[in-house]
Structure 1
Amino acid sequence: MIFKRRTWLLGLFYVIVFLILYFLLKIRAQLFSILSPFIIAIAFAYLLNPLVNFVQKKGVGRFYSVLLVYLLFIGLIVILGWSVIPTIVDETSKLVSDLPDYAEQVQKIVKNFRESSKNQLPESINNIINQNINRIEDIAIHSLQKISSIVINFFSRFLNIIIVPILAFYFLKDKDEFKRRITLLIPQKWRTEILEISTSVDKVLGSYIRGQILVATFVGGSTAIGLYLLDVKYALVIGLIAGIVDVIPYFGPVIGAVPAMIVAFIQQPIKALWVLILIAIIQQLESGIVSPKIIGSSVGLHPVAIILSLFIGGSFFGVVGMILAVPFTATIKVIGTHLMNYIVD
């Protein structure tokens, strides 16, 4: 009897998850357009919530705690606005205008390499080289086009930039009120179990989001500083891109390395080697020291599960799907684990 009940409930859970995923897939474009500021605001609120809680524990009211943290954050933005942001905007404008030239130069480099190796190597080896060069060329040009769209979209969504901090303010200020109202909507007989699940999900998501943002900040800042010291053009913008894509586990560092390598190689081929060494050092520091200290094993997922979720998320929802794949999978795992424990009991 227990086995039948367990099988039925587990099957129902997976059917519901499948239906939800199918529905999200059907409306993904509209859904991301509507929910993107809310998702970013929730991530922003998760990042600031520990600071707000810290201030609140000192005897300051919740509203004034959020206000104080916001004032500190605005002060930081003002400092960056005077020093860093004008440079980023200027570099972004130049990078977007130069991208077609970079794509053309990549094609010229590939053409010259083919011509130089054509008469020096056997035809069979040349065919293999040409096939792989075609792939590398496609990846490089596609990456440059992607960079252009990412940068333009990032700076063109000015409305989201205004809405996100406003939404995050209310999420932080009214956190307990949101929790109370949602709790009242849950039937009494399921309330304890659902609150336990939500607490576990909140803990996993909070640790992961805060950790990923801090690690991405380290990677982006380190990349920008390193490229600046190596005198690579667009160091701040490339560092910003590296930080943004670093939130994608495993694949993010590779995506972030492509623009730096291309720009450095076109400037001076030897610089590409130094950039490769720089990126390798940063990634070793991130994977060996920074990520374990900050994130640890907060999501509790096996690397195979993470990679599979990234492939699925990327296939159906693009870059955004890859960014959300791990926290979504971790949430499903937490819910499934609690459901299994509930069924066994």
Structure 2
Amino acid sequence: MKKKADSVFSQWVLNNRFSVGLINVLLTLIIILVFNRISFIFDPVNVFLGAVMPPVIVALLQYYLMNPVVNRLEKRFKVPRTITILAIFALVTLLIIWMINSMIPVVQNQINSLVKNWPAIWKNATEAIDDLLSKPKLSGLRDSIQKQLASLQKDMNQLTGSAVSNAFSNLTNAVNVAASVFTTLATAPFILFFMLKDGSKLRPYLAHFAPKRWEQATSSLLSEVNGAMSSYVRGQVSVAICVGIMFFIGYTIIGEPYGAALAIAVGCLNLIPYFGTFLGLIPALIIASVTSIPLLVNVLIVFFIEQLVETRIISPLIVGNRLKMHPVTTIVVMLGAGSVWGLLGVIGGIPMYAVAKILVSHLFAYYKKVSHLYADSLTEQKAPENGQKEERENS
């Protein structure tokens, strides 16, 4: 009787994959609960990462942009890598100095003018909406839109008042933020220099910590992650720069009074896939609509020309579909990451998803290899390979 009970226990618990899976899930949840209870232990780690990660991330983004140029110059002109890096640093420094001397005063004047003229722009916009709502056909929407405008104006006044009242109380936070920004800008170039100089040694170094039989697979995984990140960063930043330049040229041609500031805003917002350009277009449409109808039409023409060039030429040429993500997947990832991490999640959600996808795909491939659940599929995959080998031997 005892032997029969042992056999039933072994059959339904020990040797049952479903029961073993449930036990593993339960153990995982218990581990998560324990770590949640002792999360205060990791507070120093969070503080350390909060201080270290900003300059590392800034340097990593610049590394993905500069490393291909450094590799090409080193291979083509046979110049030592250190000299090539220092030369690129000098060129970037000169470019930044030129931008500070030429572009920043123009953008600053346009922003100051926009802030100064914003009350008049807002007044003209509300008057135009009132004139539109005065028509009998739109009388049903009049009260609702007027309430929304009044609520928006009230929120803006409260936000301004709270910002002024909390200015002194937030002075310490402002100083901390300024110190963090200064530290990031001061340390990122040094981190970037050593990334460019010794970055090729990092992958073998990390793969060396893996077991010997997994060393090659780990190196391949790191290479695939690095390729996905570099493709996304270079593609998005390159497209954003091209979009900003195109809008700047277009706004300059049509005489947009705040063209430089709006073009920079569109270029920065273009880092958000699919929606960035449309978000950057909204201020231009508002300003143009209260300025003149011809200017509004010209802004729309610039937008359609830019979209045509971007979607037909720039994006396929620079970005393509290197991450192999469906547009629906991209939108879902952006919405989910944005709801959890805000703007940083919207911008960084897609590369994080790409890295997670690579990791999960490699783990799943390993699980298929060691698990008996996919033995049939592995046998079917090996059968055509064996058939091809026999055909090669016969030929």
Q: TM-score range by the shorter chain?
A: 0.7 to 0.9
Give the match for residue 168 of structure 1: 192
Per-residue Cα deviation, 1:209-256 (whole angstroms, up to 9, x for no partner) = 111111101000111121122221222221111111101101101111
Shift of 1:158: 5.0
Contact kept in structure 2, 1:37 and 1:163, CA below 8 Å? yes
Shift of 1:108: 4.8
> Is residue 257 of structure 2 the alignment partner of residue 244 of structure 1?
no
Deviates more, 1:43-52 or 1:333-342: 333-342
Shift of 1:161: 3.6
Per-residue Cα deviation, 1:12-60 (whole angstroms, up to 9, x for no partner) = 9x98xx99xx99xx99999677533322221111001101111221322
> Is residue 75 of structure 2 the alignment partner of residue 57 of structure 1?
yes
Contact kept in structure 1, 2:225 and 2:358, CA below 8 Å? yes
Deviates more, 1:29-38 or 1:228-237: 29-38
Q: Which protein shows a greater Rg? A: 2
TM-align CA RMSD: 3.9
Give the match for residue 118 of structure 1: 134
Give the match for residue 295 of structure 1: 319
* Matching of residues 1-345 of structure 1 within 5 Å: 35-58=53-76, 59-95=78-114, 97-98=115-116, 101-102=117-118, 105-106=121-122, 108-118=124-134, 120-121=136-137, 123-126=139-142, 134=149, 157-345=181-369
Contact kept in structure 1, 2:338 and 2:346, CA below 8 Å? yes
Aligned amino acid, residue 338 of structure 2: G
Aligned amino acid, residue 231 of structure 2: S
Shift of 1:291: 0.5
Q: 2:145, 2:249 → 1: CA distance?
A: 35
Given the superposition, is the C-alpha separation of residues 31 and 105 from structure 1 closer, same or farther in structure 2, using an over 3 Å criterion? Answer: farther
Per-residue Cα deviation, 1:126-163 (whole angstroms, up to 9, x for no partner) = 457668x759978xx89xx9xxxxxx999x94554443
Query: SS state of the match for residue 274, structure 2?
Result: coil
Q: 2:240, 2:46 → 1: CA distance?
A: 26
Q: 1:29, 1:227 → 2: CA distance?
A: 44
Given the superposition, is the C-alpha separation of residues 170 and 54 from structure 1 closer, same or farther in structure 2, using an over 3 Å criterion? Answer: same
Contact kept in structure 2, 1:233 and 1:263, CA below 8 Å? no
Unaligned runs of 5+ in 1: 146-151
Q: 2:47, 2:128 → 1: CA distance?
A: 41
Give the match for residue 149 of structure 1: none
Shift of 1:123: 3.8
Deviates more, 1:235-244 or 1:116-125: 116-125
Contact kept in structure 2, 1:224 and 1:235, CA below 8 Å? yes
Bigger relative CO (Cα 8 Å, ≥ 6 apart): 1
Q: TM-score, with normalisation over the residues of structure 1? A: 0.78
Q: 2:60, 2:290 → 1: CA distance?
A: 40
Per-residue Cα deviation, 1:149-199 (whole angstroms, up to 9, x for no partner) = xxx999x94554443333222211121343343233333343222221111
Give the match for residue 171 of structure 2: none
Shift of 1:316: 1.9
Aligned amino acid, residue 51 of structure 1: V
Q: TM-score, with normalisation over the residues of structure 2? A: 0.69
Shift of 1:335: 1.3
Unaligned runs of 5+ in 2: 1-14, 161-173, 370-395
Give the match for residue 377 of structure 2: none
Give the match for residue 148 of structure 1: none
Deviates more, 1:216-225 or 1:253-262: 253-262
Deviates more, 1:122-131 or 1:311-320: 122-131
Contact kept in structure 1, 2:203 and 2:223, CA below 8 Å? no
Query: SS state of the match for residue 206, structure 2?
Result: helix
Q: 1:29, 1:231 → 2: CA distance?
A: 48
Shift of 1:317: 1.8
